[in-house]
Amino acid sequence: MKDYKREIASRVASLEAVSSAGLGEQDVYDIIEAPQDTGLGDYAFPCFRLAKALKKAPPAIAAEAAEALAAPADLPHAPAAFRARATGAYLNFFIDRAAYCADVVQEAIVQGARYGSSGIGMGRRAIVEYSSPNIAKPFHIGHIRSTVIGSAIGNILGFLGYEVVRINHLGDYGTQFGKLIVAYRRFGSREEVEASPITALLKYYVEFHKRAEQDPSLNEEARLAFAALERGEEEERALWEWFREESLKEFTVVYELMGIRFDSFAGESFYSDKMAHVVGELEQDGLLESSEGAKIVDLDAYGLGKALITKSDGSTLYITRDIAAAVYRKEHYGFYKNIYVVASQQDLHFRQWIKILELMGRDWASDCVHVPFGLVRLEDGAMSTRTGNVVFLEDVLTQAIEKTKAVIEEKGVVTDNADEAARQIGIGAVIFQELHNNRIKDYVFNWDKVLNFEGETGPYVQYGHARAASVLRKAAEKGIDTSPGALAGIRDFSAGASDAAFALARLIGGLPAAVSEAGEKYEPSLITRHVTDIAQAFSVFYHDEPILSDEGDSRLVKLALTAAAKTAIQNGLALLGVSAPERM
C-alpha cells in the first residue's frame, strides 16, 4: 500500500526551509501527526522546530511552505494527495479519500489473514519465555499476565516474520520442593494428591509454613531434602517427578481453555546438570568471591549489589539457573532475541544476571530482554501462596464461560454451537481485559470488572466482527458477489469519501503500523486499543451509512469496506489470542 505519510514527508523534506533547518525525511516523518479535527486535514506538520533556525514565527513558516507546495512539481502521485493548507503554526495536508480507501480496502482483502503483517523479522529466531508457573502451586490469576502477554508477543513477532520459539520455563526446582517433600512425608497422602493435585499440594505448602513458624527446624529439614534432590537421591527425585507430572495435568487444562501453546516446557530442572559448568566458568574468570561460605559476584560497581550464585551448602539459585539457561539457549537456538515476560518486581534479578553474562564475555547479553509487567493484587491485599490467599485462574475462566452461556440462552442468540461460542466469548473477555491496558500498570483483580462485557471489551470487539460477517452473509444471500476477488476488483471508491467511511479506512490502514509498533515495544495493548477503535469506527459506519439497502457501485464499495474491517478486526484479535466468532 502507498505510504501517504511517507510521501508527504518526502515532499516536505525537499523544501529549502526544512532542509536548511537540518531536518531530514525521517525527522519530518516522525513529526507529522494526524489532527484530532479531520476538518483541519488528514495529516499535519507542526512548524515549531523550524522557528529558531529560520528566525521566523511558526505561522509565517507554515504559510510560506503551503505556498511553495502549491507550485507545480513533477511528482509521481496525484496532486490531490498533497493539497496543503496553513492553519496557524501547522502545515495541514488533505489526501484523496477515495484513492486512500481503495488502497486500504484492496490490500486488506487481497492479503486476508496476512493483512497487517510484514517480513521485518526476516526469519530471525526470537525466544519468548512466558507463563512459567511453579510446579505444585496453584495456577492463579496472577499468572494470567505473563501467560497472555507472552503469548500475544509471540503471536505478534511471528506475524512480523520472526521464527518464534515459545518456552514455558517451569518453576520446577528450588527450596520450595524441599518444603513440599517434607510436608508430604509428615502429613500428606497419595490418595489426596491424586484426587486433586494442586489443591492438595497447596494445602500441604500452606500447612508447612504454619508449622515452621512454631518449629523452625522444619526449614532445615526442607533444606536438606532439597539438597538430596539436587544430588539425585532416588526417593526425593521420585516425589519431585510425581509432583511435576500431576501439576502439569492441571496446568494443561487451563492452557487448552485459553488456546495457549508452547514449543518447550524445559523448566529450571532442565539446567540442573549445566550449572556446574557456569559456576566453574565464573570461578575461572575471577568473578566469584566467597562470602560466609556462599559464592557471590560483586556488582556494586554497577549499582547492582551482590549476586548470590551458590549457597553455603552448594545449592544453586534462580540466577545460576537463568545464566545456564541463557547460555544453553544461545548455543542450542542461536537466538536473535531472548525475551523474558516476567513481573517488574524481578527487574534487579534480570539486570544482575544479564550484567554477569556481559562480564563473562557474552557479547549477546544485550539480546536478552526483560519485558516487565505490573502486578495483580486482590481487593483484600496481595496474593500469597504461603497463606492460600489466591484466586484460581481456572475458576475465573469457568465463570466467564458460564456467564456468557447464560447470556446466549437468555437472548436467544443464534449460533452453530452455543458451548463453543460461550468459550470463545467468555475466554476472549478475560484475555482482552488483561491486554487492554499498558502491561506495566498494576491493577486490582475484581470479579465484576473481569466479567463485564460492556464498553471497550473483548465481546464488544468480537460483536463488531460478527456484525460485519452478518452484513456480508446477508449480501451473499441477496446474490451479491462478496468474494475477495470481486470486492478487491472495485476501482471507483468515491462512495468511500464520507466521514464515517474514511475514518474507518484510516484505522484499518493503521493496523500494520500498530502491529509493527507493538512488536518493537513488546506492547500488545497497542493492538488491543487499535482493534477497539476499528470496531467503534465500524459501528459508526454501520449506523451512518446504508449498506445493504444501497445499490450499485456504492453498495459494493461499502461491502468492500465492511470486508476489510472484518479482516482487520479478526487479524488483530488473533494476535491477542482472542477468537473472532462469525455469529453473536
What are the residue numbers of the active site? 137, 140, 143
Which residues have C-beta within 8 Å of that of residue 147, sequence separation ≥ 6? 130, 131, 258, 260
| Grid cell digits, residue 286 | 575471577
DSSP secondary-structure letter at 166? E
- What's the rounded Cα separation, in Å, for the pair 119 and 103? 20
| Helix (H) or strand (E) run with residue 554 in it | helix 552-576
DSSP string, 115-163: TT--STTTT-EEEEE---PBTTS--BGGGHHHHHHHHHHHHHHHHTT-E
Task: Give the three-class secondary structure for 444.
Answer: strand
Across 470-497, b (16+ Cβ under 10 Å) vs e yields: ebbeebeeeebebebeebbebeebebbb
Q: Which long-range contacts (CB under 8 A, 24 or more apart) does 67-70 make?
A: 68/15, 68/17, 69/11, 69/12, 69/15
- What's the rounded Cα separation, in Å, for the pair 224 and 230? 10
Task: Give the three-class secondary structure for 479.
Answer: coil
CA distances from 194 to 178, 190, 191, 201, 244 (A): 20, 6, 5, 10, 12
Q: Judge whether 510 and 43 are in contact, CB under 8 Å.
A: no
HEC profile of 396-410: HHHHHHHHHHHHHHH
Q: Which long-range contacts (CB under 8 A, 24 or more apart) does 223-228 make?
A: 223/175, 223/178, 223/313, 223/315, 224/178, 225/177, 225/178, 225/179, 225/181, 225/182, 226/174, 226/175, 226/177, 226/178, 226/181, 226/315, 227/178, 227/313, 227/314, 227/315
